[in-house]
Each structure stands twice: as structure tokens, then as C-alpha cells.
Chains A and B, each alone.
Chain A
């Protein structure tokens, strides 16, 4: 829409004059005198509409085939791209942690809720010594998972993070896939943005080697 038209809209609030798609809903005129109002009360009271609603409830009660999910006993299945509490994944090959401590998640976090500390460990590798996410601040935007070069931090399906404190932290150890789960091969990959696409193997180019 052109600017003039938009301006026209703002100046003239009478929509019927600008756009003919608007029409008045057909509503019977409201009663104005006392007698008319009394008649309306009688009509509404004895029309039996109440019982229509009551019947629907009764019918659903005796059918035992409700669509209501009985949370918390029952839970809805969550989509693979759902962005709930973060998870830290392990490598399939070696079961070691995927996180390399690059700090990109901390940098990109727009609500400033991730904090990471790293150091050089005894094996001359980079070790993540501290990692926390303040879930009270987190807006679950998914940027951390998106920026992670190692697919280490991802979102999981765990959305029950009610807490009696605003500052509710989750630590690295709590997010990390437990070893037994890893050994059992039941670690789930996140399928949201940034995840490995299917057929990725076919797209990988080989690096030439001299041996």
C-alpha cells in the first residue's frame, strides 16, 4: 500500500468509506424501554440454551474419550525443533564432550545469561571449567545452539523449569548427556536450526593427503 493510502487510513477512521469489504453485523436492535427489556430477560431465561451446554458436558463425561491431556500425568509429544532447556551433547565416536569452550554461545546470547570459563588442562587441551545458563533470564531464542560450531549445545524437550527463584541456573553437568545414556546409544540429536542435514556425508569433500 502506498504511503498516501496509509496516511489516508490514519486520517479517516471511518472504514466504511474507504473499504467496502466492511459491513455491519446484523444485530436486532436493543430494547430501549422497560417492557422490551423485561421481555428479553424472560426470553433468555426460559429458552433452554443452558441445557444445551449442560448436555454437552454430560455427554463428554460419559463418553470417556476426552481430548484433554491430563498434565502432569500425561504430556504432549514435543516437536524435534522445540526450544526448551539446553542440552550438552557428547561425541558419538568417543563419548567425550563436544563443547570446545569457544565461548561463541556466551558472546551471541542476547539476554546475557550464559557464562563460561575455560583453561588449559593437564593434557594441553582446552577444558571448560565452568558453564552456566541462567534460565531465569534465558528467552530460549536458540541463538546459542545455532552458533555452536560443534553442535554441542542444543535445545532439548525439557520445558518444566519452574523454580522458586528468578535466578534459576543450570550447570554444565546437568545439561551433559549422562554417560550411561551415551553408552546405550540413546542420545538424541537436535533437529532444529544448525543441525546436520540429511545426506551430509555425500556433500563432504575430501582433503588431499600425501600418505
Chain B
């Protein structure tokens, strides 16, 4: 089936693969065909008709964006007739388009502006009766219908890439407009992708509106600091007022090929401001001399992690980071079966999959990048998506083909059953085969609450799949039986065609787990916190004893879910001290933090590449040329599966530590534009079980802690598990995310 099609565009011989359209082949061969509505990451909208070309032996024009070539055809992309057609299209786009380019947010980067000039539309010969089209305010997004050219890009990305399916076209000829789907107000995850793809100024960011123009902003390419998807973005900076310092005005992304979630797009103002405070610096040095350990978060760069490791050796202290430690432990167990350090999958692998299992994660909020990849797979490849989790997620309903609802705490059993169904016919060795044969299936089906027929249904729907991916979430990584779960995951990857993606919790959990040798966290005094709590706190958050720069004020690298080492750059200056200054006063001498980039552990897969030699761009065809992929490192694989433990039972009022959309951590909490939904979300069933009602202030006791929250009754939830946000409190990241809790009504 992989037949190649030879044909000619403008006399140049080109080759198309199966499934490629004339436009994609032209673009691949650097032949220009103008488009207005085409966007590479979605199916063609085919609404603009700018991409028309002439084909030999055919009357009229063909749309190059959705027409595959046939053998030997000759395509002409440019002729007088085509130019006339395109000019007329541009004229029609310009009918009644408000002449407000001077104030429009899009001016300077507007497709309509560019193409109007390109096709030299200097005289309008069409007219239409204009009508009242009032501005719509949709929260973080503003919609100006009079500027809208109905290219439908926004609808396509929302549906095909993001999966919110929140907007649609209200058809009505010249009156057509974009409306929220099924309601008056826009109810979506506010990823803002529609703003990004809008070729004109119709969809704009309400927080940015009229504050600056494209030509006034400096672009700093960086990597998003909020989750492990490692999305590329550009911080756009400019002075804040007449005498003000620089500030970030907005975030943009290469929307042609990549996507951003709302936290990445709107949560950019988490930078830290400080000046050099020598006394604080000296007390930080003193605190470190006294310290028994450094506790740090994974929201740091690889270089910082490396410096912390050097400090550990120099001072002979311990390093605490539970989040990275459990991840490292998980991957260690994984390696002990798979014989290699890194998981095989990536976001691209998910996008190309036609069968996906995601287990142990509320993935839409844990890692939107994975969610978008899954949406892309579902919409473009018709992928079958199995969503295994104790709770339904309304955000995943659009793409999930099979919900596999298991009991809280039984992840080990679920993984064993999954492995059993997937590896039924696999070439396992005797011991492994014996493990599966010894399983007490009756007990497992009963305790996990997943029937045998659910697994056979899954396998049936996967039967024709060619590219399959297993996505492992944090519930499994932080599980008590994580070691055995990791081995089961490794077994699936080893003996089946499944590629494996283990979702790291924070932006650089993966990097830290590779660089640092971590110790189990102990509740001892004299712990210096680095972006974490401690007796002396060095942090880029508020309330620190010594301020250090946040991730958008640093250069360095992070390791993403794709095992890719991604560079990030300084978008805003930081005037205070940095970790390297502290290291230098302990005799760990390097002028710049990024000098450590090429010293990162080779045994973990890092390459000896200097920071300044790292590339950071996407090619014009969308290939990711950011940083480099970690080298695969092979290790001994001599571990065996352990016998399954008794599956635990979770009864009563259970809370699940899970952030709402647009929130990830204390940094997104700092961002002005992001909503701070810090309610305890529970179902009606939960409210009955906990004897609380909507709006109550409740005290939640879990794992020796007590916090107060307002309770919110959530129609979209079912069952007796409530969602407890963690972005405004710090929760021990090494703990299993479901917790037995006591809920008491305070008022």
C-alpha cells in the first residue's frame, strides 16, 4: 500500500506518499500555494478556496488542500486565471472588514493583511449589507464577529486537537458566526488555541487586548514550565510602562504544529522579582553549612539539579525530592525488566497511535499535552482510547471509546489483568507465563471491579490497531506497589507492540530523576528548601528567605515526557542571586549555570552538547528540532515479577489530589489571568456520604494534615471520590493521590 505517486507541480517532478495531498507535497518541495484556512495539524477546513490549482486534463480548479494527486498529473499553481480567482477571494474577505488595523491586536501578523497586500487588492468591487455584530466576551477569550472571516480554523483545532469541542459555526450565509456549542457562554478549558490559530483579530486574548502590538514585542523562545509535556512557546516581552521594567505580555506558540494549554498560554507571569540581598545570601550560605539535607521541587532546570547534586557531594548532605524519587524508583523497576533506562513512547507516538490505553491519571488536567495528543489520535486515526481510572472525566468523554472504571487502590491488579490480556499470545518465558497463570482471576475481577468482558472488548477493539501506546499516570508511579506495576508495564512494552509513556508529574521530574541521587524524605530539622519547604527557604516563590529566579527567568534545559532535553531561555532579567552564586561560594566554580549543560550525566543518556549549541526550532514541516533526544542507555534486566499483593480497599470519603484545569502548581497560582478554582469538588453522592452540601466550608483531614476548603457540588462527577486541588497547598508528591479522608463541616 505504500505506493509512491509521481507527478509534477509547476513542471517540477515531485513524489507523494499515500495520504498526502497536493498542498502538503507542494509545501514539502518548497512550492508556494497561498492558503487562508489551512492548518497543518487539523484536517483541511476547505473553506477559503485560496489553495485552488489547475490540474491537467481537468476543467476548472481543484482544491489542493484536500485533493490527493494521481499518477502523472501536472499541476499548475500559478496562472492568470488562478490569480484572478484568488484576488476575488481576497476582495470578498475584505468586504466590510473593519478598517481598524491601527488598533487591531492582530495587525502586523495578520493573514488577511498579508494576503490583501500580496494579491494587491487596492479596489473593492463587491459589497454586502453590513449588520450589527456585537463583541462577545467569553472570559479569557474575546470574540469580535465583525473581524471574523469564517475560516473555521478555531472550530477545527478545538474539535480535532484539543478535544473540547466547545465552539461551532452557526451557519447563515453572510450572517455566519462562531458560537459556543450548545450554550450562550463558552464552557471550555480555555486553552486559547482558538486565539492562536485565528488568522485575523476576531478571537483575541481579553487580558492582552490593546496592550501592545506585534511589532512592539520581543520574542523569547522557551519551554513551558508547567508540566512535563515540554511544549515550545514564545514569551513576548516589552517594557511595562514609561519607566517600568520588562514584563511578559503574552505567550505565543507555533500553532501550525504544536498546541498549548491555557496554563501555558495565560499563566506566564510567575516571574520573581528581587535585588541582590547580601545578608540573605550570607544566611543562605550559613543555613547550607548547617543543613542536613536540601529539599527541592522538580520545577527546576537540569543544570540546577546538577548543581544541587554537586552541593550534595561537597557538603555531604541528603537530597529530598519525593516526586522525582518515586519516579526514579518506578523507572528503576521498569529498567530491571526492560533492560533500558527510558520509556519508548512520546507525544508524537501517541498522536500516531490507533489504540491508546491511559491508566492512573486524570490526564486532561495532569498533562494537557498528552490529552491533545490523544485527541489528535482519536480524531485523525480513529484511535480507540481506553481510559482506565476510578473516576470518569468529562473532559475525556469526547475521545474515550471505553471507560474502564476500577476501584481505588487496585492499580496493581488492573495492570496485571491488562498485561494478561495484552500478552495472552506473547512469547513470554516460563517464569513470566507462570506469573500470569498463577493469578487469582476471580479475586482480581471482583476487587478491581472490571469484568473479564471489558478486557476482551478492549482487545477486540484493538485487534486491527497497528500502533499502540500505553500511558502510565502518577497514580501508578506513586502507588505503594509501584515497583511491581513498573515491571508489568515494562513487560507489556517488551513483549507487545505497545510503546510506553510514563507521565512525569512536574516539568522536570524526569530530568531530576536522572541527574540526582535522591534520599527518602525524612521529617528532620535543618533542611534547606529549594523551591520547596524547609527551615531555610531558597525559592522563586513568595515568602522565601532568599529569592532565586523562576523558570521563565533562567536559561537551562529540562527533560520532557518525550525524553527530549529542551532548552529554555531568559525572558525576564533577574537581579538577585542564583543557585550558581551559592555553589560558587562553596568552591564549585563555574561562571555560568549553563556551563553545566554539557556535564550532565552521560550514563543517564545526556549528550555532551553545550547549551549554546542546542537548537530550538520547529522546521517548516513541523519536525521538532529542539534540543536533543536522550541517548538510550541499556542496563541489566534480571528482575522478576513479584507476586501480587492483596488489593487494598478504600472506603468512606476519599479525596483525590487533582488540580482543576489551568492550574498545576504554586507558579500557576501566581498567574493573574488563571482562575483559582480551589474548591473541593464532589458529586451529590459524595456530599451525602460526607454529610455536606454545596457551599459549605469543610475541614479535610488526610495523612496527618488538616486543610479547609469550600465544597462545591459538581454535576459532572459521580461516586464517592472528591477532587482536592493541590496547586495552592503543597502536597507530598510521593504519596498515592487517593487518600482516605475525614471531612467535617465547619460552617
Do A208 and B127 contact each other (CB < 8 Å), given the known contacts A103-B216, A107-B215, A150-B102?
Answer: yes
Nearest neighbor of B124 in chain A, beta-carbon distance? A207
Bound CA–CA A89/B25 (angstroms): 53
- Decide if B216 touches A106 in the complex (CB within 8 Å): yes
Do A100 and B103 contact each other (CB < 8 Å), given the known contacts A209-B127, A211-B129?
Answer: yes
Bound CA–CA A130/B212 (angstroms): 12
Bound CA–CA A41/B81 (angstroms): 92
Do A126 and B127 contact each other (CB < 8 Å), given the known contacts A100-B103, A115-B239, A132-B242?
Answer: no
A177 to chain B, nearest CB (A): 19
Do A120 and B209 contact each other (CB < 8 Å), given the known contacts A130-B241, A132-B242, A208-B125?
Answer: yes
- Decide if B215 touches A104 in the complex (CB within 8 Å): yes
A129 to chain B, nearest CB (A): 8
Determine whether A124 belongs to the interface, using a CB cutoff of 8 Å to chain B.
yes
Proximity string of chain A (100-137) to chain B, C-beta cutoff 8 Å, 1 when within and 0 when not: 11111011000000010111100011110110100000
Total interface residues in chain B, CB < 8 Å: 23
- Decide if A118 touches B124 in the complex (CB within 8 Å): no
Bound CA–CA A102/B124 (angstroms): 25
- Decide if A119 touches B215 in the complex (CB within 8 Å): no
- Neighbouring B residues of A115 by C-beta, 8 Å: 239, 242
Total interface residues in chain A, CB < 8 Å: 27
| Other-chain residue from B123, B130, B213, B239 in contact with A102 (beta carbon distance below 8 A) | B213
Do A103 and B128 contact each other (CB < 8 Å), given the known contacts A130-B241, A132-B242, A149-B102?
Answer: no
Nearest neighbor of A152 in chain B, beta-carbon distance? B102
| Other-chain residue from A107, A119, A132, A207 in contact with B210 (beta carbon distance below 8 A) | A119
Nearest neighbor of A134 in chain B, beta-carbon distance? B242
- Decide if A208 touches B102 in the complex (CB within 8 Å): no
| Other-chain residue from A104, A124, A130, A132 in contact with B135 (beta carbon distance below 8 A) | A124
Determine whether B602 belongs to the interface, using a CB cutoff of 8 Å to chain A.
no
Bound CA–CA A121/B128 (angstroms): 31
| Other-chain residue from B124, B135, B216 in contact with A208 (beta carbon distance below 8 A) | B124
Proximity string of chain A (191-211) to chain B, C-beta cutoff 8 Å, 1 when within and 0 when not: 000000000000001011111
Do A101 and B216 contact each other (CB < 8 Å), given the known contacts A115-B239, A208-B127, A209-B127?
Answer: no
A189 to chain B, nearest CB (A): 19
Determine whether B211 belongs to the interface, using a CB cutoff of 8 Å to chain A.
yes
- Neighbouring A residues of B239 by C-beta, 8 Å: 115
A211 to chain B, nearest CB (A): 6
- Decide if A126 touches B212 in the complex (CB within 8 Å): no
Determine whether B126 belongs to the interface, using a CB cutoff of 8 Å to chain A.
yes
A98 to chain B, nearest CB (A): 10
- Decide if A210 touches B210 in the complex (CB within 8 Å): no
Interface centre among B102, B130, B216 (most CB of A within 10 A): B102
Nearest neighbor of B213 in chain A, beta-carbon distance? A103
- Neighbouring A residues of B213 by C-beta, 8 Å: 102-103
- Neighbouring A residues of B103 by C-beta, 8 Å: 100-102, 125-126
Nearest neighbor of A205 in chain B, beta-carbon distance? B123
3 smallest beta-carbon distances between A and B, as pairs: A208-B127, A210-B129, A126-B210
Taking A126-B210, A210-B128 as given, write out 16 further A-B residue pairs in contact, using a Cβ cutoff of 8 Å, ordered by the A residue number. Answer: A101-B103, A102-B213, A103-B216, A115-B239, A118-B210, A119-B210, A120-B210, A130-B242, A132-B242, A150-B102, A205-B123, A207-B124, A207-B127, A208-B127, A210-B129, A210-B130
Q: Would you give 9 A-B contacts (Cβ < 8 Å), ordered by A? A: A100-B103, A102-B102, A102-B103, A104-B215, A107-B215, A120-B211, A124-B135, A208-B125, A210-B127
Q: Measuring CB to CB, which residues of chain B are less than 8 angstroms from any residue of chain A?
A: 102-103, 107, 123-130, 135, 209-213, 215-216, 239-242
